[in-house]
Structure 1
Amino acid sequence: MAETARYDALLAAGELDQARREAEAALKRDASDLAARVALARLAAFDGNEAQAESWLAGVSAEEPDVQLVRAALLTRRGDAAGALALYRKVAKARPQKAEAWFGQGYLLAEQGDNAGARTALEQAVKLSPSTAIHHFHLGRVLFAQENLKDGFHHLQESLRLNPRHGPSYLVLAVALQAGGELGAAEELLTTGIKALDGDPYLLNALCNVQLARGNLSGAVATAETLARVEPDAPAAQANLARLRLAQGRLTDALELCKKLASRGQATSQSRMVEGMALEAIEPVDIPAALTAWREAMKLDPDDWAPANNLGNLLMRIPEDELPGAGQQALEVLEEAHRRAPERPEPQLNLALVSARLGDKQRATQLAQSLLKLERLDPEWREQAERLIKALA
């Protein structure tokens, strides 16, 4: 179809508005311009407007490769990976020079965990369209998954060179730099991305975590404050700021942020955990409120072991004459913490301690002995487990 290459180039370069303007202008000149209609269908599919995409394809041959590429994209959005993959492969066989057909295969194969197949397809897409940033981005991700870090870095850097406003490239590259211990480089990269993307919240959150990893609390706080201003209605951003206020020792400020989230019905597991820690630290300690905060944190994240472990710790510190049955309650929530994270030493050791306190020395000994069998057990936990076994003996 005439002008297809022109639209392909605009879409590959991310010039979506320009492609839309040119396609709409072409249709005004000639309502039967199939290339323009397919281009508009591709744009509608990209926007998630399936009905609009199908309307542009009405009357166009279903065997036309460009039409099949649009339909494959629509099937991908609907979650029909098998149908989409079959169409992409069909187009690649009929028109092996169509980079989009190879890219579609690579993307879907990567999603299915077939990194070898994905790499082959994505390398072909990059070869056919080396100036398309998204091809380099996904190839870089696959190469990282295969632990081919050198080539992975190259393609992610190429992705950013071609499209300096692609947020996911900054994030993935920053994670790779962190994994390699290059925290300073990761911070510099994320700072560059934030400037390019006008304070992108995902990059701000990543920068905050990198700054914390570098021990730069003041920098992390400043970044968290910016994130909270950028996303004033985002519970995660506000909870993160509360966590850092707690780290600063600004307990009342942290508690105020948490209570504000709770009053709006936006409490998160993290904000409830911060609330629990703040309530335990502020004098006089409000034990009932702290217990409630930890229990709410457990409910809000049924997979996280930390709220249950911390609740168990608090219950173990409460004398029975102040809260009858505190020991039994501690046992129950620590069993839940251990169930959530059987490989973590903290809940297992705490469960052994409360079992010993309740008189179940046999179980306490078994738990402590089992703890000593864990691989790469920190000396701190090993020492405590050995001390408990010796005391029980």
Structure 2
Amino acid sequence: MPFNTYLYHSLHKISIILLIFHPQSLVYKMLFKSKSQLKFQNLSFLCCFLFVNSFSGFSQSKFSGKEDLLSTPGQYTVVFNPAAPVVDGKLNDAVWQNVPWTEYFKDIEGDKKPAPTWNTRAKMTWDEKGLYIAAELLDPHVWAYLKNYDDIVFYDNDFEIFIDPDNDTHRYYEFEVNAQNTMFDLFMPKPYRNGSGAMIVYNAPGMKWAVDVQGTLNDPSDIDKGWTTEIFIPFSAMPFAKNQNAPVDGDFWRINFSRVEWDTEVKDGKYVKKKDANGKNLPEHNWVWSPQGVVNMHFPERWAYLFFSKKASGASETTFSIPYSEEQKKHLWHVYYLQKDYFQKNRSYATDLSKLGINDLDFSINGEDNKLWMEATSRQFMVYISSGDDVYIVNDEGLVQLLKQNRK
């Protein structure tokens, strides 16, 4: 236990002792009303009091109030396949048969919300040219009306892919497709929360995609099974990846998938979105592979880890561990979220970590000593964490950087 934490809990216990034995304290008078006799019921009260208070300092999480944003995201090992699948949306190629599915999608906020109505899952493989993604979306009523490339297809039900190849939360990619096989691809210089807009003019060169509907599209008179999609994204189409040619064994990206699903009803033989009492569309459902902890896909630090394995599909499974630095970064993101809350309330950033309630700046992560510090003005901040010669930083725009590295 770090010395600061030890000192805090020691002083906490001393204060309880003083509360009991100071002659003027209420607890003292209750217990020692008669010098020759202890009242049993008052002693019972004291035991309960001490029990609750002795654990109060330990009951709160180190990320208290932000646990949903600082849980560990999912991970997936994508296996190598030299024989590329045919991108036709059908998922019946031999290549796909030994490739594992992800877990079924959950609500974007996780288990605190009801499970999705219809199951969704995805799988991935790769070759030297790019990443292949397949998805299965069960749905008894498959519909989509947007037909033009780069239409904003999340106004229909859709399947979405988010990729940050270099894990810095900036310069990432989004791909969306609906059951009409309409593609919407875009590039984000940084998240919307940090003042960025989407670059819809970005078109991924060499990308292929296809959809197969198991049923009939836009026909409310029957019951469908759902729809599947295949998408091929060339590595060369993502210029901010560490290696545009191909990842090497053990490289990882950040990635997540989302399914947008609208509540609909049938009017005049057509699916239309349900509306509330004020005539506005009911909010869409957001079902995702790795829960974000917030109703916003544009928190790239919350996306899952995609590890590239050069082992062929069907070979013995390779297990990759999430890097130690990702545990360190949780402390940076904790400060980042608290700073944004502080700014929302005070219209300025805190200039000292103590103003955010963070006083323990030297602590251990998995047995290694770490140090946390911050440089800040009322309008900007930079938070650092170091262990040995490693120094990671996040700034007020949410950009993550490695300033110095000595870890292999």
TM > 0.5 between the two?
A: no
Q: Which has the higher strand share?
A: 2
Q: Pick the TM interval, shorter chain.
A: under 0.3
Q: TM-score, normalization: structure 2?
A: 0.18
Structure with the greater relative contact order (CA < 8 A, sep ≥ 6): 1 or 2?
Answer: 2
Q: Which has the higher helix share?
A: 1
Q: TM-score, normalization: structure 1?
A: 0.18
